[in-house]
Structure 1
Amino acid sequence: MTAPNHHQLVFPNDYRYDDARRAWNLAADLRPAVVALPTSTADVVNAVRYAGERDLRIVVQGTGHGAIVHAPLDGAMLVNMREMRGVEIDAANKRARLEAGALWEDVVVPATGQGLTALHGSSPNVGVVGYSLGGGIGWLARMHGLSAESVLAVELVTADGAVIRADRTQNTDLFWALRGGGGGLGVVVALEIALFEVDDLVAGMMIWPWERSAEVLTRYAEWAETAPNSVSASGRMLQIPPLPEIPESIRGRQLVVIDGAVLGTEAEAQEILAPLRALGPEIDTFGAAPLDSLIRLHMDPEPPMPTKGDGVMVDALDSEAIEALVEIAGPGTESPLIIVELRQLGGALRERKPGAGVLGSLDGSFAFFAAGVPLGPEVAEEIELRIDALKEALAPWTREKPYLNFAEKRVAIGDAVGAESFARLETVKAAVDPHGRFRSGHAFTPTPPLEVARAA
């Protein structure tokens, strides 16, 4: 074999180690035995073979938004894909090919320049691959479904160092398993995804003082259940930090916000949004919008920062459920959470189509997520306690079914995809990774702590 050169392998005694191991979520203190920084598929092959010869488990990282489920990675190789960000747009065939380190902004900007868009998420700097392997809920999701279902082909390096392609005609079981199973089957080096035309788009947000959280979120929860598939929205309680890059009108404020996108004309959006506008928002920015505006609509933080969060899927919520959320994390609670979110599901997300991947659909009404910034151990503990209290309060409205991309504590993949799909997924895992070389962010089976292995 050809060993990776010293530029691509970073060990703890290397001055580059802290930068190479760093995840976007700075609360994830990853300390792998070695970090690989490949720039090509050949580099990935060499890294995988190197790890195999030394009995190192492998964890793959695109951006590290969900890295906290992996920590601390003692005795493992971290394959950081950040140097592989190439993107090719095939506008004529409405598809894109992207390398595994590509961020959503890398895809959306050139695609929208050609009148197309992807089923991207709410943040410009989330990695396309990790987002899609876990499902993917974006602003077009209730019309077009999960991002995982827009994947047309996957190029993968397997545990034995082979480079294979999985799509609807070859390696079909693996292609099924990769779409929504959360990864852990190999190193994805490239994806091909479908792109979509959007004729008319209305997007924006409505903002109220957070003292109105119970009233606004109750109306939102009722409205979301009957809204047409052409709209995807999110309702959030926010405590916005006083950062200079945040617009002055909301900087440092506590708010309740509904944001979203309507695939339709302004007249159609006016009718759809009327029940929310009837609440008299302080700020209302909904209007005709360019496609590329959606990538920053949600105002997700972009620079790396420490966060602690968790989420779960919930069913239809009544006023009692909303009041429980507000009483735990709303006005007057001194909550350490900067966000408590209910992201609208339903529509095409509920429809499992023939040929769908392992996840295929989400049968909840909302994806709940809450997070805070752990500035010190006491704050971190309070964040965890507050999120646990929120999840306990929502228990009557949930089947404790996680959505992998919002689960920041290790969960059983079987709980997310269902027993029947999980049994098939385990069969695929055993076939492509018989020795368990690759570690998923979440658990195929209860995973013992990684044994410390020496990488040299």
Structure 2
Amino acid sequence: MDHGRPTRRALLATGLALATAGCTDGGAQSPPTPGGDPGGGPSSPPTTPGWSDLEVSGGLSRPGQAGYDPSTLLYNPRFSPAPQAVAHCRTADDVAACVRHAGRTGTGLRLRAGGHSYGGWSAGDGLVADLAGMDAVELAADGRTARIGAGARLVDVYTALGAQGVAIGAGSCPTVGFSGLTLGGGVGVLARSFGLTCDQVRSIDVVTADGTSRTVDAGNDPDLFWALRGGGGGIAAVTSWTVAVRSAPRVTVFFLRWGLERGADVLAAWQRWAPTAPRELWSTCKLLRNPADGDRVQVSGAWTGTAALDLSGLLAELPPPAANTHRTLGYLDAMLYEAGCSGLDAQACTARALDGAHRQPFAATSSMLGTELPQAGLDAALAAVRELRAPAGLVEAGMSFDALGGAVADVAADATAFPWRTALATVQHTATWSGPADPGPFDAVVAGTRDALTPWTGTAAYVNYADAGQPDRAAACWGGNRGRLQRVAAAADPDGVFAFPGGVRA
């Protein structure tokens, strides 16, 4: 076993290359439209915005002014937003001012947390309320809950909580916004033991479409509370979250790799083992094409149990892997490891995640694996990855199967807006590339791998892996919860102040 710090090649091989590893998970409250915004926004006739009337404590940036840099708004550089103004919000009152301005003038409004929206919906051509200044993380005096600002990034949340010996289950990409992740449900590396991130929410501070600030929970506006846990945004502006925390566990992280030719065998063994393993064990299985580092199938994950990590249920069915590593870490160090930031503090981790080498353009879509793939489905998955037509500039492409089950399945399908509680896994289809290129061929790559599974997965999808080109997206993302979610959205925001192309009413 190799217990040392992974090399750059090992980081890529373990799925920590940020885009393909799910580093684009969530990150936008009003979570694709390069250089524009084709829809969404208030239905009332717009008036000419009077920007001098909008005052926020962090200031307002307009084209040509200091602080106006649209290239920093979105993680995915395939998009080129050009908003009329960026409001740098620091308080709930700032957010309320932006909401009232949008409602009064008809200006399209986007709320940006981490900027990781797959569809580029964290920014548009109207007003962007940038919540980055609202990133405080405060542990309650009793140590049972924490209040997390709407602009906090995951690395900041993990650092603040881990330093006080408590933990929350969330995603792996360090710069994803906690808000966007949670609004979509929140699949992460501790999901099977902690539940979805939205399952850990106890109350939410919001600004509603009328510009009013209030707190919602199970007893105060339960419909809105329900919708904001898995509904994907576009209903109200979250300003902070109160979440349950628990004692931070020790975490054993592991990584296994085989050649891609073993893909069907590894996926077959993994899908029988992973969803029914002890709930302290979360894992992901990836089928990957990588021209530089080699094609491969890999299984990696995290174990939070008190006994020693035991992978025999998986390995007994397979040939020895070409790589087999594990290491046991404290909670914060494990989260930094999963983020590809071992040995770095939060500031350095953020800078690394946002540098040019990691902010590669990407295309993505998703499926939900409801039941085990039969042999025909396993063969189709492998063939779709091995035989995909790699466009020029491709860095990596493939499928990532992330295990559900455990605590995720403890919650009823209609208890929150996230509907896929009994699924075995989410499936993320991704393609990353370097340099300027037409996104079309890469969109075709991910659509192709998704379509290869459709005979067995159907059209169900995970809202945080947003795909603007997916037919009947609302049904795909919310299934049987769509009707209630649409009714809540219409009641909470009748004029569409928060509407955007990826919302439930789009």
TM over 0.5: yes
- Quote how far apart the aligned CAs of 1:43 are: 1.4
Deviation per residue, 1:128-184 (Å, 9 max, x gap): 110000011112212232111111111111122110101122122211111110111
> Is 2:375 aligned against 1:319?
yes
- Tell me, in whole angstroms, the C-alpha distance in 2 between the residues paired with 1:334 and 1:305: 16
Q: Is the 8 A contact 1:132 1:179 kept in 2?
A: yes
- Tell me, in whole angstroms, the C-alpha distance in 1 between the residues paired with 2:291 and 2:139: 37
Structure 2: stretches of 5+ with no match in the other structure: 1-51, 341-351
Q: Aligned residue for 2:451? A: 392
- Tell me, in whole angstroms, the C-alpha distance in 2 between the residues paired with 1:61 and 1:94: 28
Paired residue for 2:483, among 423, 427, 440? 423
**Partner amino acid, structure 1, of 2:306:** T
> Is 2:54 aligned against 1:3?
yes
Distance change (3 Å), C-alpha of 1:154 and 1:440? farther
Partner SS, residue 192 of structure 1: strand
Q: Is the 8 A contact 2:289 2:385 kept in 1?
A: no
- Tell me, in whole angstroms, the C-alpha distance in 2 between the residues paired with 1:179 and 1:314: 21
Q: Aligned residue for 1:450? A: none
Q: Is the 8 A contact 2:252 2:309 kept in 1?
A: no
**Partner amino acid, structure 1, of 2:399:** V
Deviation per residue, 1:257-298 (Å, 9 max, x gap): 21111221343535555437x531222222433212332444
> Is 2:93 aligned against 1:42?
yes
Q: CA RMSD in A?
A: 2.8
Q: Aligned residue for 1:359? A: 418
- Quote how far apart the aligned CAs of 1:40 are: 1.4
Q: Aligned residue for 1:257? A: 298
**Partner amino acid, structure 1, of 2:496:** G
User: What pairs up with 1:258-273 in 2 under 5 angstroms?
Assistant: 258-267=299-308, 269-272=310-313
**Partner amino acid, structure 2, of 1:341:** S
Distance change (3 Å), C-alpha of 1:438 and 1:410? farther
Structure 1: stretches of 5+ with no match in the other structure: 243-251, 447-456
- Quote how far apart the aligned CAs of 1:71 are: 8.2
- Tell me, in whole angstroms, the C-alpha distance in 2 between the residues paired with 1:273 and 1:14: 57
Q: Is the 8 A contact 2:289 2:398 kept in 1?
A: yes
Distance change (3 Å), C-alpha of 1:299 and 1:215? farther
> Is 2:199 aligned against 1:117?
no
Deviation per residue, 1:350-386 (Å, 9 max, x gap): 3334993222653322211122224467552221112
Deviation per residue, 1:396-421 (Å, 9 max, x gap): 111211110122326533432234x3
Paired residue for 1:404, among 451, 454, 463? 463
- Sequence identity (%): 27
- Tell me, in whole angstroms, the C-alpha distance in 2 between the residues paired with 1:256 and 1:126: 26
User: What pairs up with 1:79-90 in 2 under 5 angstroms?
Assistant: 79-90=129-140
Q: Is the 8 A contact 2:413 2:419 kept in 1?
A: no
- Tell me, in whole angstroms, the C-alpha distance in 1 between the residues paired with 2:132 and 2:361: 19
Q: Aligned residue for 2:329? A: 289
| Structure 2 length-normalised TM | 0.78
Deviation per residue, 1:81-104 (Å, 9 max, x gap): 112111112373321111111011
Q: Aligned residue for 2:105? A: 54
**Higher mean C-alpha displacement, 48-57 vs 198-207:** 198-207
- Tell me, in whole angstroms, the C-alpha distance in 1 between the residues paired with 2:397 and 2:477: 26
**Higher mean C-alpha displacement, 296-305 vs 379-388:** 296-305
Distance change (3 Å), C-alpha of 1:410 and 1:56? farther
Q: Aligned residue for 1:17? A: 68
- Tell me, in whole angstroms, the C-alpha distance in 2 between the residues paired with 1:64 and 1:273: 37
Q: Is the 8 A contact 1:117 1:291 kept in 2?
A: yes
> Is 2:503 aligned against 1:443?
yes
Partner SS, residue 167 of structure 2: coil
Q: Is the 8 A contact 2:412 2:421 kept in 1?
A: no
- Tell me, in whole angstroms, the C-alpha distance in 1 between the residues paired with 2:322 and 2:421: 33
Q: Aligned residue for 1:167? A: 217
Q: Aligned residue for 1:454? A: none
Q: Is the 8 A contact 2:171 2:188 kept in 1?
A: yes
Distance change (3 Å), C-alpha of 1:190 and 1:7? closer
Q: Is the 8 A contact 1:201 1:290 kept in 2?
A: yes
> Is 2:190 aligned against 1:130?
no
Partner SS, residue 384 of structure 1: helix
Distance change (3 Å), C-alpha of 1:286 and 1:379? farther
Q: Is the 8 A contact 2:249 2:331 kept in 1?
A: no
Q: Is the 8 A contact 1:232 1:261 kept in 2?
A: yes
Q: Is the 8 A contact 1:69 1:408 kept in 2?
A: no
**Partner amino acid, structure 1, of 2:242:** E
Q: Aligned residue for 1:413? A: 474
Q: Is the 8 A contact 2:282 2:302 kept in 1?
A: yes
**Partner amino acid, structure 1, of 2:110:** V
- Tell me, in whole angstroms, the C-alpha distance in 2 between the residues paired with 1:47 and 1:298: 36
Partner SS, residue 119 of structure 1: coil
User: What pairs up with 1:190-209 in 2 under 5 angstroms?
Assistant: 190-209=240-259
> Is 2:229 aligned against 1:179?
yes
Q: Aligned residue for 2:34? A: none
Q: Is the 8 A contact 1:352 1:361 kept in 2?
A: no
- Quote how far apart the aligned CAs of 1:225 are: 4.3
**Partner amino acid, structure 1, of 2:411:** R
Deviation per residue, 1:162-207 (Å, 9 max, x gap): 1010112212221111111011112111111111235553222112
Partner SS, residue 68 of structure 1: coil
- Quote how far apart the aligned CAs of 1:232 are: 1.1
